[in-house]
Structure 1
Amino acid sequence: MNSLLQLKGNFEQASSNLKPGSPNLPAGKTVEVIHLEKLRNHLKELRRFWSKESLFSGALISGYYNKVAAKSNRMKGLLSKGSITANSSIVGARFTNAESPKHIITHYVALEIIDESIDRLNECIEILNEKFNGRISDDIIKKINKKQIMFTSSKIAKTNFLKVIVDAFYIEKFDVLVDDIELKDESIVTIYKTDVKATKVMEKLGISLQFARVMDDTTILLRPDELGILKQKAPYLISMAVSDIAELTKDDFNFCNDTAITIPSPNNEPIIGVIDTMFDENVYFSEWVEFKNMLPEEISLAPSDYKHGTAVASIIVDGPASNPHMDDGCGRFRVRHFGVAAGNQFSSFAILRDINEIILSNRDIKVWNLSLGSKLEINRNFISPEAAILDGIQYENDVIFVIAGTNKESNEKQQKAIGSPADSINSLVVNSVDFENHPASYTRKGPVLSFFTKPDISYYGGDGKNFMRVCTPTGEAFVRGTSFAAPWIARKISYLIDILGLSREVAKALIINAATGWSKQEFDSSLIGHGIVPMKIDDVIQCPEDEIQFILSGVSEKYDTYNYNIPVPVSKDKHPFIAKATLCYFPCCSRNQGVDYTNTELDIQFGRLTGDGIKPIDNNYQSSKVECFTWEEDARKLFRKWDNVKHIREILKKSNRAKKCYD
């Protein structure tokens, strides 16, 4: 086996030299006056509507696009004025429910911005009627840009005229977006960000909110009657809402006769944080676990409330003792265990507050295991509040969460989307496979927001006749579930970070890279993620004799961040290898942006240097049997680039040949 190599040195940084081109339509496309008139009339109606509303001074306006819109295709001439851009007023983004989705982007703008947009549309309508016979094509716009057709107007600048025309091509209509939300329990509600805080807006509606029911300026906890008032008086305010009462996914437990297991006292082993149900301090490994009950004292606890959390902790501390066939070579770990849930239900809002407090009070812990998950499916248009909190914590702190991918129940036969918080983008989300490397019978599926690959990876969680052994308050039990796959990955991540001293970015990339192979992916990534992680930690940090595995890490400070000094073998002026690469980073995220959730994009190119740049490796590793997105091709490409885990690889074939080494 070859050891992992860490390449030292600085990444080169360069600012972007790209300049935006002149506005134009796609080839062969036109815009007609009748469509401009329709958009103008929409804005006039919205202007009248919002002038009568008194909750805040501005207006919420949603633009309905005719496609999944790249940021370069979004509004620039409409809903803009002077230095105020349309992009700066975005407060939400979602997709339509069609098979091939389209963007709906919501803006909060001043009424004078609407007036300016109406004026610009009027001026464009007048110009099209007077000079272009009521329609304008991409060819005409090209000639205007090249000054082959002179544009003269005392009312609107040429650039603004062209921007409005291009905007009109991509926008089907303007409207007020109202989502039909039906929730019976207390609900975590996020309202659109305006110039008035959520508490003040609710006060105007007759809803009084105490501090304990306010998460931030836009996220609040409402009772069913209060949600009814909001829906009746100001339904347009609701950006997203989810039930606060989440029912836990179930894991199967079969109890057996107890077998005596002993364990030495802990020394200075790494500590993994666990956020789960309660922990029983009478089990054989209790000396290895520091436990704190986070629930209010008045909540009574039943013996069953200790079962799940104790089982999860037993795997982290001493999993190989009960499952010698799964010995990963990582040793034992101490656990700091926080009990945040009891019974089969929990309050998401309460847990959100608890998690923030827990992380800030335990900064010495780098790796956290969270094996709680909701039975409800995630929403395709927004990240759950729990996942958003976890993503924010991981962006702001040097920690990583390992999260169970949630389970289907045995009576659920249809495919089911994963539940929160497994939609956390920055976390390492783990699904289960059986010991024959097939997706487990209880596996739920991604992706998240229709394009982020979740789960990230899969591991053995017990299934069929091969359950996993754990310790519970009532003795040893045979279990299955993603809850019991995740702790094994938490052990590996902690080994890489706390024992080997690697960064969380490198640790996450190594785990994901180890799960990938050299052949075409057999199962859909929405079920198993990037693949199945090897059992032995040595197979993560070492590679076969015919491979070289190395890591690069750094900080991206400018538009281009690159390293052209990677030592790869050359034989007879050729590269006798195929390659794969995995990129991981932890971006800042904005939940109020809906489907446009991540704020940062990093791309990766890996391949041979030519005189003109890089000849990237072939990246066609998806099997033809694997399910593809139903979106048009440009939408898939557009949003894959926002994924914060990127894996590229060439396929090992019998016909592989050495590649030319360019000068």
Structure 2
Amino acid sequence: MRVLRSIPKLRINKPDAIRTIVDVPFKLPEVTELKNNFKVCIFDGGIGDNHVISDWVNEIIPSDVTSSHPSYLTHGSEVCSAFLFGPYNHDTQTFSPPYSKVDLYRVISMTDSDPDLFDVLTRIEGVLKSREYKYANLSLGPHLAVDDDEVHVWTSVLDSILQDGHCLVTVAIGNDGDLEGEYARIQPPSDMVNCFSIGASDTEQPDWQRADYSCVGPGRSPGLVKPDGVIFGGSQSRPFELYSPLTHSVTGTAGTSFASPYALRVAAGIDSITNFDLKPSTIKALMIHHASNDGHHIKDVGWGRLPHSPEEVVQCLEDEAIIVYQGELNRSEHLRIPVPLPTNIDCTWVHLKATFCINAITDPEHPLHYTRSGLDITFRANEHKIKKEAKHASTKPFFTNNNLYQSEEELREDAYKWETCITRSQRFKRQTLENPIFDVKYHGREQGGDSLSDPTPLSYSLIISIRTQGNSNLYNTILQQNQTLQAVQVEPRIRL
């Protein structure tokens, strides 16, 4: 016998004990025309016919889904509502307007008898393979913790579909974070390296904590930093108050099932209010770039608490500028990315923050070498300071794995090369920076060794924020001195 493990069950919404009807007045947004060129889908238990939000939701029922259950419909409809409207606003007694319509796929049937949940996975796989959607959400999956020694079939199948970067999929990490030891770890397929795994915080206020039910990291290596981030998902003292389409009321609940579509709502909002064709990996990088850790352990919250609105992402501080790079790299190709720091900036300190996100080619047959593509990143602070012995611009470590998990395997020199997302901020004396650059090289390997057999290009996104203390004209100065940069126009929604 090679391995013995329990048969997984389908996780829907645990803890389901946190569920109350909130007796408050509310008003749904008016139906307006949405001018988006992207499509969004949610895979869940369906919504049924007893609802009033058909202007925003199109339910699709596969031919082999012949029956459902009230709990499936309740979960599916409320996950959909969390994406469309977000949480209830007590100040305005309303819900926020949707950024996009959504296709809701009913992928769960009461007649499904496969213990490995292949029926559910096959339905999801078929939709994602059509490459019709730019955004998707999964608030379901096998109810078991990840295994370091073996990649779960849900993870391997979906990761291989998403490795080309055509779709950003938010995945709930599970609600067993209050269990002990390994049982509290994230659950498949949230350990995918090509997804956006979402945990839950207990409040939207500055004194937030990880919700006690939200599962914890680490993920596998590579993919150690899991969840990617947390966002408000509700708690016993501060429930996630959402609109329930089946009861036409405000319901207080909690779970990563609702944090995940809430994060997807922010992602779709960023795309909706900007006039630039941002890649899915760029949207993910932007949200992680703006995550705030606030002193929490990385295994609990990943990169930190994610922004709750797209405006938090696209707005700069007065002395800050955010630069977005996105593109593709071919195998063994070298890329030099400039950090457009103006030459005449008068300040003492410069704060740089950089976030790289890629979509990696995966190899599920080798869990220890799961990703076959990665980036080798070198930061050069001063292009004119030449090392005599090396004959190239001096380098300075920018990304290190010191903030990852401390184990012998994880502290290998090249461990971070194979991570699909890395972010770091550093402070520099102004005089130490002279035309700083990032040198990036695409590395590929197969079964732990280098390989040139796969010509698939690697999709990358880099977010750089530059902040110069005391200089409020940074943004305009960068645009004036860098004519190749294009300003991203933002069309925020005006709310009275």
User: Which runs of 5 or more structure 2 residues have no equivalent in the other structure?
Assistant: 387-391, 436-496
Candidates 116, 134, 157, aligned match of 1:366: 134
Residue aligning to 1:302 = 69
Aligned mates of 1:326, 1:455 — CA distance in 2: 32
In the TM superposition, residue 268 of structure 1 has moved relative to its aligned partner by: 3.2
Aligned mates of 2:33, 2:346 — CA distance in 1: 54
For these two proteins, the number of residue pairs brought into alignment is 413
- The code of the aligned residue for 2:252 comes to F
Residue aligning to 1:491 = 265
Query: 1:93-108 counterparts in 2 under 5 A?
Result: none
Query: 1:129-528 counterparts in 2 under 5 A?
Result: 180-183=2-5, 185=7, 243=8, 245-248=9-12, 250-252=14-16, 253-256=18-21, 259=25, 261-265=27-31, 267-268=33-34, 270=36, 271-294=39-62, 296-299=64-67, 301-320=68-87, 331-342=98-109, 347=114, 348-361=117-130, 363-396=131-164, 398-408=166-176, 412=179, 414=181, 416-435=184-203, 436-452=207-223, 453-472=225-244, 473-474=246-247, 475-500=249-274, 501-516=277-292, 522-528=295-301
Residue aligning to 1:596 = 369
Distance 1:250 1:283, change over 3 A: same
Aligned mates of 2:228, 2:137 — CA distance in 1: 15
State whether residues 392 and 589 of structure 1, in contact with CA within 8 Å, keep that contact through their aligned partners in structure 2: yes
| Percent identity (aligned) | 22
Aligned mates of 2:313, 2:334 — CA distance in 1: 26
- The code of the aligned residue for 1:181 comes to V
Candidates 383, 389, 393, aligned match of 1:613: 393
Cα shift readout 1:35-60 (whole Å, capped 9, x = no counterpart) = xxxxxxxxxxxxxxxxxxxxxxxxxx
Greater percentage in helix: 1
Residue aligning to 2:444 = none
Cα shift readout 1:61-96 (whole Å, capped 9, x = no counterpart) = xxxxxxxxxxxxxxxxxxxxxxxxxxxxxxxxxxxx
TM-score, structure 2 normalization: 0.74
In the TM superposition, residue 355 of structure 1 has moved relative to its aligned partner by: 1.4
In the TM superposition, residue 479 of structure 1 has moved relative to its aligned partner by: 0.8
- The code of the aligned residue for 2:126 comes to E
Aligned mates of 1:397, 1:634 — CA distance in 2: 28
Query: Is the counterpart of residue 629 in structure 1 residue 398 in structure 2?
Result: no
Aligned mates of 1:576, 1:328 — CA distance in 2: 42
Candidates 394, 408, 430, aligned match of 1:658: 430
TM-score, structure 1 normalization: 0.57
RMSD over aligned Cα atoms: 3.2
SS at match of 1:273: strand
Aligned mates of 2:340, 2:264 — CA distance in 1: 32
- The code of the aligned residue for 2:199 comes to N
Aligned mates of 1:495, 1:291 — CA distance in 2: 21
User: Which runs of 5 or more structure 1 residues have no equivalent in the other structure?
Assistant: 1-178, 186-242
Aligned mates of 2:48, 2:15 — CA distance in 1: 18
Structure with larger Rg? 1
Distance 1:328 1:382, change over 3 A: farther
In the TM superposition, residue 457 of structure 1 has moved relative to its aligned partner by: 1.1
Aligned mates of 2:302, 2:346 — CA distance in 1: 37
- The code of the aligned residue for 1:642 comes to W
Aligned mates of 1:605, 1:616 — CA distance in 2: 7
SS at match of 1:286: coil
Aligned mates of 1:628, 1:263 — CA distance in 2: 44
In the TM superposition, residue 181 of structure 1 has moved relative to its aligned partner by: 1.1
- The code of the aligned residue for 2:376 comes to D
